[in-house]
Structure 1
Amino acid sequence: MRTRARRPTVRGVVVAALAATALTLAPAAPAAAHNTLQSSTPTRDARLTTAPAQITLRFRQPLNPAFTTIVLSDAGQRRVATGEPAVTGPDGSITVDQPLGNGTYTVAYRVVSADGHPVQGAYQFTVADPSAPEPTDAAPPP
């Protein structure tokens, strides 16, 4: 008895394509649980004419205050005095305790995702206030 080879139908091809797409996307699902930075004030690479009094980071998921760290550093990698991070839902913010002089600053953060994985990152912004003195990189006298 001979069997005839069947030609693929349009329906069969569509079902196979959908199944292949679903399998391709399935491994990406666990990564979706990781928290990500959505926006910030000041923004990445901003050039400000007035120094900020507060830094605010908005994430994709709500933050846990116990596992949220936000640090501000100057161009010499010295920590700038700030308040403790305040957390409201997906927003984390710090207040800057002293006026910032002209220069480049780095905001570094570390938060924990809903799946328990730590997420960290950093970005820079520059203060270029025309009325402020230029920063000095010299260390203060002992």
Structure 2
Amino acid sequence: MTAPSSRPTAVRLGAAVLAAVVALLIPVSPAWAHNTLRSAAPAQESTLSSAPTEIVLEFVERLDPTFTTIVLTDAAKRKVPTGDPVVGGAKGSVQVTGALPNGTYTVAYRVVSTDGHPVQGSYPFTVADPNSSAAPIVGTTTDAPSAAASVQGDDGPGTGVLVAGGALAAVVVVVVGGLLLRRRANRR
């Protein structure tokens, strides 16, 4: 009497593993597509002939208004007065309430998008108003905190990615263990 083939069982087991992996990865996939800055006004690295009255940042995904921070600092790393962030969909903005004499400024941001993942960054722009009589602000050599440090936080992998990775690893361990046990049982 011949032993029944384990091939149909292996095919079914493989299909079940594939279905489990797909089921785990589909709900988590948005966590891998983290939010990014789409555009900014003033633009990154730009030189303006007049000081801006507003900073507007547009992202790829919607922002959570509760966790949106936009900070403006001058070349000496001092915070420039601005209004509170206003969020509408994927845009965040602040009104510049302080004067901006000629000089280099840094916009720093920290936002949380719909996937719950924090994203942060910063970029410079320069004001070079030919009609300005104010002295330009120059950087200092002190170790003042940077604008990016004032909005710094955890930028590690999202919780969904960690859960999916752990579940996938567990599925692989169970499947490989089951296949090894089955092979060992068939050899006896």
User: TM-score, structure 2 length as denominator?
Assistant: 0.56
- Residue 134 of structure 1: how far off its partner (Å): 2.8
Does the residue aligned with 1:124 lie in a helix, a strand or coil? strand
CA contact (8 A) 2:76 2:139 kept: no
For 1:39 and 1:138, the matched residues in 2 are separated by: 26
CA contact (8 A) 2:56 2:94 kept: yes
User: 1:130 aligned to 2:130?
Assistant: yes
- Residue 136 of structure 1: how far off its partner (Å): 4.2
For 2:138 and 2:48, the matched residues in 1 are separated by: 20
Which residue number in structure 1 is paired with residue 61 of structure 2?
61
Which residue number in structure 1 is paired with residue 93 of structure 2?
93
Does the residue aligned with 2:121 lie in a helix, a strand or coil? strand
CA contact (8 A) 2:104 2:137 kept: no
Q: Percent identity?
A: 55
- Residue 138 of structure 1: how far off its partner (Å): 8.8
For 2:88 and 2:117, the matched residues in 1 are separated by: 20
CA RMSD, 1 decimal:
2.3
Cα 1:128–1:117 change in 2 (3 A) is same
- Residue 135 of structure 1: how far off its partner (Å): 1.5
For 1:57, give the aligned amino acid.
L
Deviations 1:77-129 (A, max 9, x none): 10000000000111100000022100000000001122211100000000000
Deviations 1:35-80 (A, max 9, x none): 1100000000010000000000000111111000000000011000
Q: What 5-or-longer segments of structure 1 have no aligned partner?
A: 1-25
More strand, by proportion: 1
Does the residue aligned with 2:32 lie in a helix, a strand or coil? helix
More helix, by proportion: 2
Does the residue aligned with 2:98 lie in a helix, a strand or coil? coil
CA contact (8 A) 1:75 1:104 kept: yes
Structure with higher Rg: it is: 2
For 2:139 and 2:126, the matched residues in 1 are separated by: 19
For 2:108 and 2:115, the matched residues in 1 are separated by: 21
Cα 1:108–1:115 change in 2 (3 A) is same
CA contact (8 A) 1:44 1:123 kept: yes
